[in-house]
Structure formats: structure tokens, C-alpha cells
Amino acid sequence: MKVIAGVTFVNEGKIKVLNRRWRKLNRPTDILSFPLNDFTPGADGVIRLGDIVICKTQAQIKGHSIEFLLKHGLLHLLGVHHQ
């Protein structure tokens, strides 16, 4: 079984725009996740989880490593959420 997720690195301006649009928070953040919520394989047999968007500048400010953010984002794509 093949499972994929998209990962995009953006600047603070772009992640702020995305955060405002999708979370109604007018500030930059270090990571956003956009799950597809459908674990059904496509016609090619691949399960697509969704997309993760990371801002390296915000990650550095918050003291989060890219590895931590990737794990965090993948958990969100898999349906694990925090309060």
C-alpha cells in the first residue's frame, strides 16, 4: 500500500493568508494541515492523506524542528487533533 501527503514550505506572509482564510486567525503560524479525510485508495491504489504547509521562520521562532512539525502534521492528516 502506498500513502502520500503533500508538504509545502512557505514564507510568513503566505502562511498568514492561509491561517486567516482557513482558521480565521490573522497571524502567521508554523504549520497548517489540510486533511482529505478519505482513506480510500484512488484508482492507482494510492491513499492520499492531504497537505501540510510549514513556515520555517515561524518554526524557528517557536523552537519546533521540521521533523516535529512533519510528525504533528501527519497526525492531523490521520485524524488526531488537540484542543
Residue type, 59: A
Note the pLDDT of residue 83: 66
Cell numbers at 16, concatenated: 498568514
pLDDT tens profile 13-36: 999 999 999 999 999 999 999 999
28: CB partners within 8 A, 6+ apart: 12, 13, 15, 16, 19, 55, 57, 58
Under 8 Å between Cβ of 22 and 30 = no
Note the pLDDT of residue 81: 83
3: CB partners within 8 A, 6+ apart: 46, 47, 48, 49
Q: Which residue has the higher pLDDT, 3 or 82?
A: 3
pTM given for the model: 0.91
pLDDT confidence tier of residue 40, bands split at 50, 70 and 90: very high
CATH for 2-77, options being 3.60.21.10, 3.30.1330.10, 3.40.390.30, 1.20.1260.10: 3.40.390.30
Note the pLDDT of residue 38: 87
Q: What is the mean pLDDT of residues 45-61?
A: 97
